[in-house]
Amino acid sequence: MRTAPTDRKHPGRRTGRSGHWIDDWHPEDPVFWERTGRRIARRNLVLSVLAEHFGFSVWVMWSILVIKMGADADGGPGPAGFALSIDQQLWLVAVPSGVGAFLRLPYTFAVPVFGGRNWTVFSALLLVVPCVLMMWAVRHPELSFGALLAVAAVAGVGGGNFASSMTNISFFYPEKEKGWALGLNAAGGNLGVAVIQKLGAVVIAAGTGTALARIGLIYIPLAVVAAVGALLFMDNLSEAKADFGSTASAARRGQTWIMSFLYIGTFGSFIGYSSAFPALLKNPALFDRPDVALSYGFLGALVGSVARPLGGKLGDRIGGAKVTVAAFGVMTLGGLGAVASIGPRGGILDRPSFGLFFGSFMLLFLASGIGNGSTYRMIPAIFAARGARNGGTPDAMLRARREAAGAIGICSAVGAFGGFLVPIVYAESNKAYGTIAPALWVYVGLFVVMAAVTWLCYLRRGAASTQPAPTPTPTPTSTQASPQALATTTR
């Protein structure tokens, strides 16, 4: 099919199709990128970050709510009227992570079906639902634990936003800038964890059910603002086709599943630790510091979020695999420090050290944030290198970008399940042994294995390349005939 004419006032935008659709998009062309592409990509990135940020906040809002929903020292209802055990609190923060992980695959497919801009509008408005349900639930302490789990599960829709956002933005930027752009996009979303944990701590300081509900009153209008911003200023790319075929093709690549495993160790650790950290600080079996949980529990998520773009930037410059191996090495040290900090039960030091515990987790957050950026940088680089090996033609590189987008959806979904597993492993370890030391030893072992896998698959001689592929030299075919080579037509 032939494409409709483009609007001369807005290069690249098709006038014969409603909904802010762009059919002519070729960011690898330096001239197009400097004259038109960079401005459009930056505008979409800013709005994507905003929507994803609020999505993350809603996704993990239960991590701060549960601090006020625990039982008092005698096992009776606390200030908010609930009497949840530490294990129940960890389950409440784990379930939304699991639901969010599950939703990431369908959210990835939503971009080609509805368009990145259109789906951002819908997914932002959808955040209103878990906020309303939460506001109702925290006013009813008589609710069963099962009912609370069901309500918390709905917050998982905020976790799905990440996959659609990252898939969409990956198409807007050229290969040489993908690491930085994806790192910024993800960091803006990840910061939503820190913001909700700090803002929520301030809002619920009064400790009543009414105060808990105020979090919803804040995020409902913010979700509407994000939706309106996306409606007015974002664009849909026809090229953004992480469709079933591309994702199925990506699923057949061993690299996709290797990267999914590594992403469990980076992002899974980040979101799992972020969700569980405030509850761990409050745990009577550890240091029982609810004051620190409310005042400083957000710092871990903040450190990890700010570090994420750095990981992407370092991946652009020296290679994502090198940065990832280093990140797993530092995470191993952080895990060992956390084990030592809990004293005799950890089997390293003779007495507990809260300072070492807090510092070790900050190191874990820092390294996981850097690893998030570097592993995500590896995905498009691996597939771009594959496209270059297949000839480097516009069609080959387009197929590579679409497979990479499908791989991003798969990796983000699999990796996010780490956010479900981390709190659950803590809960089960605490329940069975009265300490989280066994859980921490499991994590240390996994970090060592993941570092070894990264080196074996991507750094030893003859391993798959994770360096950005060379930018193809623009030709008349790749720049002037791009509607046929680089875009898809209306269905």
What's the pLDDT tens digit per position in 54-88? 999 999 899 888 888 877 767 777 777 888 888 88
In one-letter notation, the amino acid at residue 196 is I
Question: What pLDDT score does 15 carry?
Answer: 40
Nearest CA to 53 among 227, 232, 187, 210? 187
Share of the chain above pLDDT 90, in %: 29
Q: What are the extents of the domains in the chain?
A: 21-486
CB-CB contact of 316 with 176 (8 Å):
yes
Contacts of residues 295-298 at CB distance under 8 Å and 24 or more positions apart, as own/partner, are 295/201, 296/358, 297/64, 297/67, 297/197, 297/201, 298/193, 298/194, 298/195, 298/197, 298/198, 298/201
Are 444 and 336 a contacting pair, CB within 8 Å? yes
pLDDT at 246 over 50: yes
Per residue in 450-464, pLDDT (tens digit) is 999 999 988 887 666
Give the C-alpha separation, 283 to 182, whole Å.
Answer: 35
Integer Cα distance of 409 and 362 in angstroms: 28
Q: CA of 292: how far to CAs of 83, 282, 283, 340, in Å?
A: 20, 8, 11, 20
pLDDT of 14 > 70? The answer is: no
Tokens of 402: 């679409």
- Give pLDDT tens digits for 285-333: 677 777 777 777 888 888 988 888 888 788 878 888 899 999 999 999 9
> Alpha-carbon distance 212 to 206, whole Å?
9
Q: Please indicate whether residue 73 or residue 19 has the higher confidence score (pLDDT).
A: 73
Query: Apex CA 179: angle with CA 166 and CA 462, to 5°?
Result: 115
253: left (phi over 0), alpha (psi -120 to 50) or beta: beta
pLDDT-based confidence at residue 162 (cuts at 50, 70, 90): confident
Question: Of 14-23, 238-247, 334-343, 478-487, which gets the smallest average pLDDT?
Answer: 478-487
Is the confidence at residue 473, as pLDDT, over 90? no
Residue 284's pLDDT band (boundaries 50, 70, 90)? low
Average pLDDT over residues 455-482: 57
pLDDT, residue 489, reads 29
Give one DSSP letter per residue of 348-365, joined into a string. S-SS--HHHHHHHHHHHH
At residue 274's C-alpha, the angle toward residues 269 and 277, to 5°, is 110
Rounded to an integer, the average pLDDT of 278-291 is 76
Domain 21-486 CATH assignment equals 1.10.240.10 = no
Look at strands 236-237 and 21-22 and give their pairing: parallel
- Residue 22 DSSP label: E
Mean pLDDT estimate for the chain: 81
Give me the pLDDT at residue 476, please: 42
Q: Quote the pLDDT of residue 82.
A: 86
pLDDT-derived band at 478, boundaries 50, 70, 90: very low
Which residues make Cβ contacts (< 8 Å) with residue 46, sequence separation at least 6?
none
Please state, in angstroms and rounded to a whole number, the distance separating the CA atoms of residues 275 and 307.
18
The answer to whether residue 125 scores a pLDDT higher than 90 is yes
How far apart (Å, rounded) are the C-alpha atoms in residues 25 and 243?
Answer: 18
Q: What are the helix (H) ranges across 297-353?
A: 299-318, 320-341
**pLDDT bracket for residue 2 (50, 70, 90):** very low
In whole angstroms, what is the distance from residue 374 CA to residue 413 CA? 17
Q: CA-CA distances (angstroms) from residue 324 to 257, 268, 319?
A: 16, 14, 9
Q: Are 51 and 161 in contact (CB under 8 A)?
A: yes
Q: What is the mean pLDDT of residues 248-252?
A: 82
User: Around Cβ 363, how many Cβ atoms within 10 Å?
Assistant: 18
Neighbours of 195 (CB within 10 A): 18
Report how far apart, in Å, the C-alpha atoms of 416 and of each of 95, 101, 137, 202, 276 are.
11, 5, 25, 28, 14
Q: How confident is the model at residue 239 (pLDDT cuts 50, 70, 90)?
A: confident
Is residue 427 within 8 Å of residue 90, measured between CB atoms? yes
* Amino acid at residue number 143: L
When mean pLDDT is compared across 26-35, 224-233, 370-379, the lowest value belongs to 370-379
**What element of type H or E holds 342?**
none
Q: Which of 32-46, 228-242, 267-281 has the highest mean pLDDT?
A: 32-46
Phi first, then psi: give them for residue 186, nearest 5 degrees.
-70, -40
Say what the pLDDT of residue 210 is: 57
pTM: 0.76
Greatest mean pLDDT among 49-63, 81-95, 343-357, 386-400: 49-63
